Structure 1
Amino acid sequence: MLEMCARPLERCFGRGDGGGGDGLLWHMDLKSHASGDYSIAVVQANSMLEDQGQVFTSPSATYVGVYDGHGGPEASRFITRHLFPFLHKFTTEQGGLSAEVIKKAFDATEEEFLHLVKRSWSARPQIASVGSCCLVGVIAKDVLYVANLGDSRAVLGRRVSENRKNMLVVAERLSVDHNVGVEEVRKEVEALHPDDSHIVVFSRGVWRIKGIIQHLIHQAVSVTFPFVGFKINWRCLFEETGI
Structure 2
Amino acid sequence: MRIVAPCWRPSIEGENSGRGDVAGRVDGLLWYKDSGRHVNGDFSMAVIQANNVLEDHSRLDSGPLSSLDSGPQGTFVGIYDGHGGPEASRFVNSRLFDNLKKFTSENQGMSEDVITKAFLATEDEFLSLVKKQWLSKPQIASAGSCCLVGIICSGLLYIANAGDSRVVLGRLEKAFSEVKAVQLSSEHNANFESVREELRMLHPDDPQIVVLKHKVWRVKGIIQVSRSIGDAYLKNAEFNREPLLPKFRLDEPFHKPILKAEPSVLVQRLHPEDQFLIFASDGLWENLSNQEAVDIVNNSPRNGIARKLVKAALQEAAKKREMRYSDLKKIERGVRRHFHDDITVVVLFLDYSLISRNSNRGPSLSIIAGGGVFANGST
Deviation digits for residues 83-140 of structure 1, max 9, x if unmatched?
Answer: 0000000000000101110000001011111111111111111112111100000000
1:173 corresponds to: 183
| Equivalent AA in structure 2 for residue 224 of structure 1 | A
Give RMSD over aligned pairs: 2.6
1:186-197 aligned within 5 A: 186-197=196-207
The answer for the alignment partner of 1:220 in structure 2 is 228
- Give the TM-score normalised by the residue count of structure 2: 0.56
- Residue 149 of structure 1: how far off its partner (Å): 0.5
1:19 to 25, 29, 51: 25
Alignment correspondent of 2:152: 139
The one-letter amino acid of 2:181's match is: A
Cα distance 1:161–1:189, how it changes in 2: closer, same or farther (>3 A)? closer
The offset of 1:12, in angstroms, is 10
Greater alpha carbon shift after TM alignment, 228-237 vs 140-149: 228-237
1:11, CA displacement in angstroms? 7.5
Matched with 1:3 is: none
Greater mean alpha carbon deviation, residues 184-193 or residues 205-214: 184-193
- Taking a change above 3 Å as real, the CA distance of residues 170 and 224 of structure 1, as seen in their structure-2 partners, is same
Aligned mates of 1:97, 1:10 — CA distance in 2: 34
* Cα 1:188/1:10, change in 2 over 3 Å: farther
Out of 25, 39, 50, which is 1:34 matched to?
Answer: 39
Q: Structure 2: 5+ residue runs without aligned partners?
A: 14-20, 65-72, 234-239, 241-249, 271-379
Q: CA deviation at 1:168?
A: 4.0
- Name the counterpart of 1:231: 258
Give the alignment partner of residue 127 of structure 2, picking from 92, 111, 114. 114
| 8 Å Cα contact 1:145-1:240 kept in structure 2 | yes
* TM-score normalised by L of structure 1: 0.85
Residue 152 in 1 paired to residue 165 in 2?
yes
**Which AA in structure 2 matches 1:223?**
D
Shifted more, 199-208 versus 177-186: the winner is 177-186
SS in 2 for 1:115: helix
Residue 217 of structure 2 corresponds to residue 207 of structure 1: yes
Q: Which SS does the other structure have where 1:212 is aligned?
A: coil
SS of residue in 2 equivalent to 1:96: coil
- Higher relative contact order at CA 8 Å, sep ≥6: structure 1 or structure 2? 2
Separation in 1, partners of 2:87, 2:12: 16
Seen in structure 2, the aligned counterparts of structure 1 residues 162 and 198 have a Cα distance that, compared at 3 Å, is closer
SS of equivalent residue, structure 1 residue 176:
coil
Inter-CA distance 68–11: structure 2 relative to 1 (3 Å threshold): farther
The answer to whether the aligner puts 1:94 opposite 2:107 as a matched pair is yes
> Structure 1 206/13 Cα, relative in aligned 2: closer, same or farther at 3 Å?
farther
Which secondary structure state, in structure 2, belongs to the residue aligned with residue 81 of structure 1?
helix
Deviates more, 1:63-72 or 1:52-61: 52-61
1:52 correspondence with 2:79: no
Distance 1:53 1:181, change over 3 A: same
Instruction: Quickly say closer, same or farther: Cα 1:7–1:99, change in 2 above 3 A.
Output: farther
**Does the alignment pair 1:43 with 2:48?**
yes
CA contact under 8 A between 2:228 and 2:259: conserved in structure 1? no
Query: Greater CA radius of gyration, 1 or 2?
Result: 2
| TM superposition shift of 1:162 | 11
Q: Does the aligned pair in 1 maintain the 2:227–2:261 contact within 8 Å?
A: no
CA contact (8 A) 1:117 1:127 kept: yes
Displacement after TM superposition at 1:237 (Å)? 0.9
The C-alpha deviation readout for 1:135-158, integer Å capped at 9, x for no partner, is 000000010000000000001122
1:61 is aligned to 74
Give the direction of change, closer, same or farther, for the CA distance of 1:95–1:29 in structure 2 (3 Å limit): same
Q: Which moved more, 1:23-32 or 1:68-77?
A: 23-32
7-16 vs 203-212, which moves further:
7-16
The one-letter code of the counterpart of 1:62 is T
Over 3 Å counting, the alpha-carbon distance change for 1:157 and 1:108 in structure 2 is same
1:127 aligned partner: 140
Where do 1:70-81 residues align within 5 Å?
Answer: 70-81=83-94
Structure 1 residues 31 and 170 mapped into 2: Cα distance closer, same or farther (>3 Å)? same
Q: Map Cα deviations across residues 194-227 of structure 1 (whole Å, 9 max, x no partner).
A: 4432121011111112221324xx4422332245
Structure 1, unpaired ranges of 5+ = 1-5
Counterpart CA distance in 1 for 2:22 and 2:222 is 38
Provide the rounded CA distance (Å) in 1 between the counterparts of 2:101 and 2:6: 26
| Other structure's SS at 2:230 match | coil
Counterpart-to-counterpart distance in 2, 1:86 and 1:126:
25
- Count of residue pairs the alignment pairs up: 231
Partner of 2:7: 8
